[in-house]
Amino acid sequence: MKVLVPVKRVVDYNVKVRVKSDQTGVDIANVKMSMNPFDEIAVEEAVRLKEKGAVTEVIAVSCGVTACQETLRTAMAIGADRAILVETSEELQPLAVAKLLKALVDKEQPQLVILGKQAIDDDCNQTGQMLAALCDVPQATFASKIEVADGKARVTREVDGGLETLEVSLPAVVTTDLRLNEPRYVTLPNIMKAKKKQLDVLKPEDLGVDVAPRLKTLKVTEPPKRGAGIKVPDVATLVDKLRNEAKVI
Amino acid sequence: MTSLVIAEHDNASIKGATLNTVTAAAACGGEVHVLVAGHNAGAAAEAAGRIAGVAKVIHADAAYFEHGLAENVAAQVLALAGDYSHILFPATASGKNIAPRVAAKLDVAQVSDITRVDGPDTFERPIYAGNAMAVVQSGDSVKVITVRTTGFDAAAASGGSATVQKVDAAPENGKSRFVGQEIAKSDRPELTAAKVIVSGGRALGSSEKFNEVMTPLADKLGAALGASRAAVDAGYAPNDWQVGQTGKIVAPQLYVACGISGAIQHLAGMKDSKVIVAINKDPEAPIFSVADYGLEADLFQAVPELTAKL
């Protein structure tokens, strides 16, 4: 069975982003970009399923600018077999990405699509669910454990208050939570090998998808700053301040 | 213009996050209706009717709604969607699971995790782990929204007298099945609704130490316990205690961070707390930049001392 793994190129999670002074967005010129951390977990899980023999082929997909090819090469260095880039310089919102992925699902017919639960740039947490809806297949979001057997996937999900286990019939869409696995480090030989793997480039028009943004961003601002705090010398002073100054205990 | 709020409930009672979502729905303008899709959830539907500001409760009952599977609940929402200009879910694990499914079927963009309503079609939401706030405008005919509960006050749980209207349940999807759950039992206040939270990080060193040091402080303050991702990943605390960008977003009156350095991803989950106290022995820890009161000390001495002095 085939697995499709969508990956997104985002600002590296260690970078503290700055809002542009004209309030049109966040300044991402010259900042370090990497694969969205949840997507790394998704690729790792797909590769592990392949190593277990449950999966025959892992296809990594990314939508966006030409530089997303680097992200796809990383996915192939982890162990994806080939990659597809849907290239566009347009701003892509989750609904547009879900539609592009739907077109690719129709083409490639994977039994499982594994996505990250959210991208750390737009923090939307929508694409996987939207893709499941468009393909009319079941979804298992926020997965911390995945077992595939007999045309079904048994998925343990992280929910408020604890864990929940679902069984979904395949084909299905799964989104990963942090604790699903620990992604492996890519090794130099694998990076070299990944350069030789197949990477197809398509355009949204080839898939017949309109990717025009549906939400308009009016402005982007800095969040309100917290007033500077103070350091207290000892516990007694802390208790006194909390009681008499902040009045919270 | 009418808004539909999808209630979060456990079939017997309405969960707190629903109340904040009702407030956000009221801010969108027009009447507020609440959908309770559940199994034997009459009590929850009645409770929804008592929420101040709710004009009507729609109650759909079917065995396959019991565990709130996304496929089934989304189908129920879609069956009603034609009558509404706004469909709002709390931004909880359940709301985040279902809302995008509804939006995609309606072919509209979804607005995640809104913190403010600027107008019927304009909303504010945090991006980049809360390091920037975006104001977005939706041109879609139906606005599908998830509401960050800490961004809105809770509507009063009593005082309303909405009628409860029963509707036929949408047919079962049948492609997914609930197998089981492990819900952590706790007598403490719920993390996202707690007035006081004490939170521990990697510095605690083990789950035994976490319990030994943090639990008495939480007991003294009547607080909920939280944790950083480092503490959760190391197994010192359960997953659902994680506070941060990818865990729970909290905004209590008092947040006490013990042995937490204050990574961007953790701050994203707690920096809207009213008063932040940091106890850390590293004077350079970023947590001190957001703390109202910082104590530079070894938490194994300072926390028991603090517990004793309260």
Domain ranges of chain B: 2-167, 191-309
Both tokens of A43, joined, read: 């690729």
Report chain B residues whose CB lies below 8 A from the CB of A142: 93, 97
Q: Which residues does residue B156 pair with via DSSP β-bridges, in sequence order?
A: none
Backbone angles phi, psi at B88, to 5 degrees: -120, 135
Query: How confident is the model at residue A183, as a pLDDT?
Result: 97
Substitution target from A11, A28, A111, A123 for chain B, most B beta carbons within 10 A: A123
Q: Which residues of chain B have pLDDT under 50?
A: none
Interchain pair B94, A248: CB under 8 A? no
Q: Which of A131, A141, A214 sits opposite B97 (nearest CB)?
A: A141
List the structure tokens of B111: 């607005």
- The pLDDT value recorded for residue B187 is 83
Chain B residues in contact with A216 by the CB 8 A cut-off are: 136-139
Instruction: Give the per-residue pLDDT at B152.
Output: 96
Secondary structure element (H or E) that encloses residue B266, with its range: helix B264-270
Tell me if B294 and A246 make a contact (CB, 8 A cut-off): no
SS3 B56: strand
CATH architecture for segment(s) B2-167:
3-Layer(aba) Sandwich (3.40)
Q: Does A149 touch chain B if contact means CB atoms closer than 8 Å?
A: no
Per-residue pLDDT, A249: 80
Q: Which of A153-162, A212-221, A240-249 has the lowest mean pLDDT?
A: A240-249
Is any Cβ of chain A less than 8 angstroms from the Cβ of B222?
A: no
A248 against B165, higher pLDDT: B165
Query: How does the average pLDDT of chain A come out, rounded?
Result: 96
Least confident of A52-56, A133-137, A223-227, B93-97: A223-227
Q: Identify the H or E element spanning A45.
A: helix A37-51
Average of per-residue pLDDT across A122-131: 98
3-state secondary structure A158-186: EECCEEEEEEEECCEEEEECHHHCCCCCC
Q: What H or E segment, with its residue span, contains residue B219? A: helix B207-221
Q: Contact B96/A125, CB-based, under 8 Å?
A: yes
Please check the confidence at residue A17 and state whether its pLDDT lies above 80. yes
* B138 has a chain A CB within 8 A of its CB: yes
User: What's the CA gap between B100 and B86, in Å, rounded?
Assistant: 14
Q: Are the beta carbons of B135 and A229 separated by less than 8 Å? A: no
- Distance from the Cα of B181 to chain A's closest Cα (Å) equals 4
- For residue B75, what pLDDT is reported? 97
Average pLDDT over residues A167-183: 97
Residue A225 has pLDDT above 90, yes or no: no
A179 closest CB neighbour out of B239, B245, B305: B239
The length of chain B in residues reads 310
Shortest distance between the Cα of A179 and any Cα of chain B, in A, equals 8
- The CATH-assigned architecture of domain B191-309 is 3-Layer(aba) Sandwich (3.40)
Task: Give residue A248's pLDDT.
Answer: 85
Q: Which of A14, A167, A216 sits opposite B136 (nearest CB)?
A: A216
Work out the number of other CB atoms within 10 angstroms of the CB of residue B186: 15
pLDDT at B185: 77
